[in-house]
Amino acid sequence: MASGIRCPSCGAVHHLPPPILLTICECGDKLRHPGHANSSPHSQHHADLYEILGVERTASADDLRTAYRQRARETHPDAGGKPGEFQAVQAAWEVLGDPERRRRYDRSGVSSADGRESKPVPDLLDVSVVIAVRRLISAGFAPRLVLIPEHHDELADVVIGQQPAPGTNHPVGSIVDVAVSGSDAGILWRGIKRDAQRVTDDLKGAATATADSAVKGAKRAIRWFLRTAAIVFSIASVIATSIIVGVYRPVAGLIILFVGATIIAVVIQRTSPNVNQRRKSTGDTSLARRRIGHR
């Protein structure tokens, strides 16, 4: 059934068929219908289930079972009760009669007949379809797009309606209809293309950074390997030479070993990456100081 909304500027009444909640008046005003959230006193999403059974929230399992049986007899259609009230009692017992579902309901304050948690549906009106889908997925809902022809350029490619309405408690994981102003899939393609381009740019940047990091790492590994091999070769040469000379001249062999070890230690210290980095930092600082002094 179409829902009417009166324009505050010109007084014109617009009848918006569900799920449309947003339109443009002839006078140019943008009209937004508040929507109709579930508000039945015994709605399984809004009513307090403990109140339906007539017990306190601290009631024990036995008290809940007794209260359920009594309320079921009172509200049963055969006893003169209303079918809606009887169904509400059954739904309340399905949740509160199960310990796990009761704990979940006590934490969230809302429930559905199948035990799933319910959450308010986010406001999707007057945003792009891509943003609307992201909001629904982030909130845990499943979007279902409905394309509706719209002649107002101001509402092109945006959400003009949704069902359930914004703020309605809805079971998490359930479908939410999203009415999008458009007559074909072009709006979806444009949104997807924008997202794809953004993701492509991000991937390009990440790939470039990864490649640069890999090249630098390979260069460091090669330098380390060559430096280590040179040091090992030098040490082995000094030791071999000192042993050969020491067989004939022990003192000369010790001198060769001592001198060689000293030279190798000095070379290792001077070619250490940390030392080079400190020298570079010191050189940059000295150069900056000299420039400041010249000024």
Band (69; pLDDT cuts 50, 70, 90): very high
Q: Could you say which DSSP state residue 160 is in?
A: E
pLDDT, residue 196, reads 47
pLDDT of 168 over the 80 cut: yes
pLDDT of 241 over the 70 cut: yes
pLDDT of 146 over the 80 cut: yes
Average pLDDT over residues 17-29: 88
pLDDT, residue 218, reads 72
User: Residues 246-286: pLDDT tens digits?
Assistant: 777 788 878 888 887 888 888 777 776 665 555 555 555 55
Average pLDDT over residues 193-221: 62
Residue with tokens 């007794």: 66
> For 10, what's the count of Cα atoms within 13 Å in the CB-facing half-sphere?
11
pLDDT, residue 273, reads 63
SS3 helix, strand, coil % of the chain, rounded to 5?
55, 15, 30
Element (H, E) at 108: helix 99-108
State the SS3 of 172-203.
CCCEEEEEEECCCCHHHHHHHHHHHHHHHHHH
Chain Cα centroid distance, residue 10: 43
Question: What's the whole-model pTM score?
Answer: 0.42
pLDDT, residue 42, reads 37
pLDDT, residue 116, reads 61
pLDDT of 164 over the 60 cut: yes
Domain range 49-109, its CATH number among 1.10.1240.10, 1.10.287.110, 3.30.390.10, 3.40.50.970: 1.10.287.110
pLDDT of 295 over the 60 cut: no
pLDDT, residue 39, reads 37
Q: Which sequence spans correspond to the domains of the chain?
A: 3-39+119-184, 49-109, 191-282
Average pLDDT over residues 206-229: 71
Distance CA 170, CA 192 (A): 27
pLDDT, residue 53, reads 92
pLDDT, residue 88, reads 81
Q: Which CATH architecture has domain 3-39+119-184?
A: 2-Layer Sandwich (3.30)
Band (191; pLDDT cuts 50, 70, 90): low
The residue ranking higher by pLDDT, 96 or 205, is: 96
pLDDT of 11 over the 80 cut: yes
pLDDT, residue 59, reads 92
